[in-house]
C-alpha cells in the first residue's frame, strides 16, 4: 500500500530508473500475492525469499542476501517503507556501503521500546539521508532526536494515496461481500500482534471479551495466519464469523461499512480515520497519535476493564459525520515524494 503509489509516481520522472525488491519477509501466499495483483504492483525484479525466523535471524538473513544486490546494482538511493525488519536490515546495509537511504513513513514513535517495530523505526531514521514523514508530529519527533531539518520532508500519508485511488473499486465489491457473509450491522476484528496472540491466556481473554460484544453486534474476523495457528483447537461462537485473510479491496470495503473496527494494527488506525469508521486499538500506545487527536481511533490499554464499555459507547454514538482527516492525507503524498526526488536527482 505504501510502495505502489510511489512507484507509479516515480515512473513519470524522466531519467529515473527504479527496481522493486521483495525481501520475502511477508511470505504467506494469501497475504502477499493478492496485494501485488490488487495494487497493480509490478512483480519484483528481485525476491530474497527470507521467510519467517526470529528477529535476529531474519534481520541478519536479509542483510546477507541484500548486500550482494547492492554491490551489483549500485543504486544512488534505496527507499525503505515502514518499520519491519526488512526496513532496518536494508537501511543498515545501504548505509554501510555508502548508498543513500530514504525512509518512507519516517518519524513515527510509540515511545515503547519493547516493540520491535519501535527499534526499527528509531534506527532506520538515524541511518537515513532523507526522511519522508506522514504528519507534523513525526517531524517534531525527528527534530527532537537531532535529525537536521534539511533531511525532513513532510509529504503526507502514502497509505491514503492507495486508499483514495482504490476506494471506488472496493465499494463495487460491497454487495457481494454483504451477501457472502450475510452482513448488516457488524464489527470488524483483526488480531495479529505477538503481544495479543502469542500468549494463549491473553488471546482467550480477548476473544471472551469480543464474544460478549458480539452478542450485541455480530463480529467478522478475517484471521491472520499467525492467529489461526493459535486458535486451532479453540471453538468460537456463531456470533464471531471467521474468514480467511482478505485482499486489500475486500478489507477496505468492510472497513468502510463496519459500525466499529477492533484491531491491533497500525495501518488500520490510519485507514479508519480517513473513512470515518470508529476504531478501538488493543494496545497501550500507538506510533500514530494523530489518529487519536484528529481521527476516530481510541486506545484500549486494558481490554478487561475498557473494551466492552468502549465498544458499547461507540456503537451507541454511531459514526462521526463528516469524518475529519489530518493535513496532507489527501491522496497526493506520492506526488510530493516525486517532487522531492526531482530536486535531489
Please list, in sequence order, all residues whose beta carbon lies within 8 angstroms of the beta carbon of residue 332, skipping any fewer than 6 positions away. 156, 161
- CB contact at 8 A, 118 and 287: yes
Question: Crossing angle, helix 85-97 and helix 116-127, to 10 degrees?
Answer: 20
Q: What is the largest CA-CA distance in the chain?
A: 59
Give the catalytic positions in this structure: 192
What phi and psi values does residue 249 have, to the nearest 5 degrees? -65, -45
**Triad 192, 186, 177: Cα angle to 5°:** 85
Instruction: Enumerate the β-bridge partners of residue 220.
Output: 188, 241
Q: What is the dihedral of CA 334, 340, 344, 345, to 10 degrees?
A: 30
Strand ranges across the sheet with 152-154: 77-81, 100-104, 130-133, 152-154
- Half-sphere exposure (CA, 13 Å, Cβ side) for 145? 22
CB-neighbour burial class of residue 293 (10 A; exposed 0-12, middle 13-18, buried 19+): exposed
The whole-angstrom separation of Cα 102 and Cα 99 is 10
The whole-angstrom separation of Cα 68 and Cα 23 is 13
- CB contact at 8 A, 24 and 47: yes
CB-neighbour burial class of residue 303 (10 A; exposed 0-12, middle 13-18, buried 19+): buried
Amino acid at each position: 500500500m505504501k510502495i505502489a503509489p510511489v512507484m507509479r509516481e516515480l515512473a513519470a520522472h524522466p531519467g529515473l530508473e527504479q527496481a522493486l525488491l521483495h525481501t520475502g519477509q511477508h511470505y504467506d501466499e494469501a497475504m502477499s500475492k493478492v496485494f501485488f495483483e490488487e495494487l497493480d504492483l509490478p512483480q519484483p525484479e528481485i525476491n530474497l525469499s527470507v521467510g519467517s525466523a526470529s528477529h535476529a535471524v531474519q534481520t541478519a538473513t536479509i542483510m546477507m542476501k541484500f548486500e550482494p544486490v547492492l554491490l551489483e546494482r549500485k543504486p544512488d538511493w534505496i527507499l525503505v517503507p515502514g518499520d519491519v525488519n526488512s526496513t532496518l536490515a536494508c537501511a543498515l546495509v545501504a548505509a554501510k556501503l555508502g548508498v543513500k537511504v530514504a525512509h518512507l513513513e519516517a518519524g513515527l514513535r510509540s515511545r515503547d521500546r519493547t516493540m520491535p517495530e519501535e527499534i526499527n523505526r528509531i534506527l532506520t531514521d538515524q541511518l537515513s539521508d532523507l526522511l519522508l514523514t506522514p504528519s507534523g508530529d513525526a517531524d517534531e519527533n525527528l527534530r527532537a532526536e537531532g535529525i537536521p531539518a534539511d533531511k525532513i520532508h513532510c509529504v503526507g500519508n502514502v497509505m491514503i494515496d492507495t486508499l483514495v485511488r482504490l476506494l471506488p473499486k472496493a465499494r463495487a465489491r460491497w454487495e457481494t461481500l454483504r451477501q457472502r457473509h450475510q452482513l448488516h450491522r457488524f464489527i470488524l476484528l483483526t488480531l495479529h500482534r505477538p503481544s495479543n496472540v502469542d500468549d494463549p491466556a491473553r488471546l482467550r481473554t480477548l476473544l471472551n471479551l469480543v464474544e460478549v460484544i458480539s452478542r450485541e453486534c455480530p463480529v467478522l474476523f478475517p484471521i491472520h495466519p499467525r492467529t489461526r495457528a493459535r486458535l486451532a483447537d479453540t471453538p468460537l461462537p456463531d456470533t464471531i464469523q471467521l474468514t480467511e485473510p482478505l485482499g486489500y479491496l475486500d478489507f477496505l470495503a468492510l472497513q468502510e461499512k463496519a459500525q466499529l473496527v477492533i484491531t491491533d494494527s497500525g495501518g488500520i488506525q490510519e485507514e479508519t480515520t480517513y473513512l470515518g469508521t470508529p476504531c478501538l486499538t488493543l494496545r497501550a500506545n500507538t506510533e500514530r497519535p494523530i489518529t487519536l487527536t484528529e481521527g476516530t481511533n481510541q486506545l484500549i490499554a486494558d481490554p478487561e476493564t475498557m473494551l466492552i464499555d468502549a465498544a458499547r459507547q461507540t456503537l451507541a454514538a454511531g459514526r462521526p459525520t463528516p469524518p475529519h482527516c489530518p493535513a496532507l492525507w489527501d491522496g497526493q503524498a506520492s506526488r510530493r515524494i516525486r517532487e522531492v526526488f526531482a530536486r535531489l536527482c
